């Protein structure tokens, strides 16, 4: 995320636009990953929407 400004915002916007509520967020110390917690029922939608970004 360090070298890609706005990537976190794109992820959060994509999920919010499709009604996925993010319960918790964590960023690794290497800035190469971001972890999200969503309700189990939203998992499929969340994965699909994030994959559409890449």
pLDDT, tens digit, 9 for 90 and up, residues 1-54: 677 888 889 999 999 999 999 999 998 777 788 899 999 999 999 999 999 988
What architecture is domain 7-53? 2-Layer Sandwich (3.30)
What is the rounded CA–CA span in Å between residue 14 and residue 17? 5
pLDDT at 11: 93
What is the number of other CB atoms lying within 10 angstroms of the CB of residue 33?
A: 10
What is the number of other CB atoms lying within 10 angstroms of the CB of residue 12?
A: 15
Please tell me what DSSP assigns to residue 5.
Answer: T
Beta-bridged to residue 25, according to DSSP, are 36
pLDDT at 16: 96
pLDDT at 5: 86
Is 0.85 surpassed by the pTM of this model?
no
What is the rounded CA–CA span in Å between residue 21 and residue 31? 23
């Amino acid at each position: 995320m360090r070298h890609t400004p706005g990537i976190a915002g794109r992820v959060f916007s994509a999920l919010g636009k499709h009604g996925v509520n993010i319960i918790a967020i964590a960023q690794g110390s290497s800035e190469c990953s971001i972890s999200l917690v969503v309700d189990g029922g939203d998992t499929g939608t969340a994965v699909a929407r994030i994959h559409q970004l890449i």
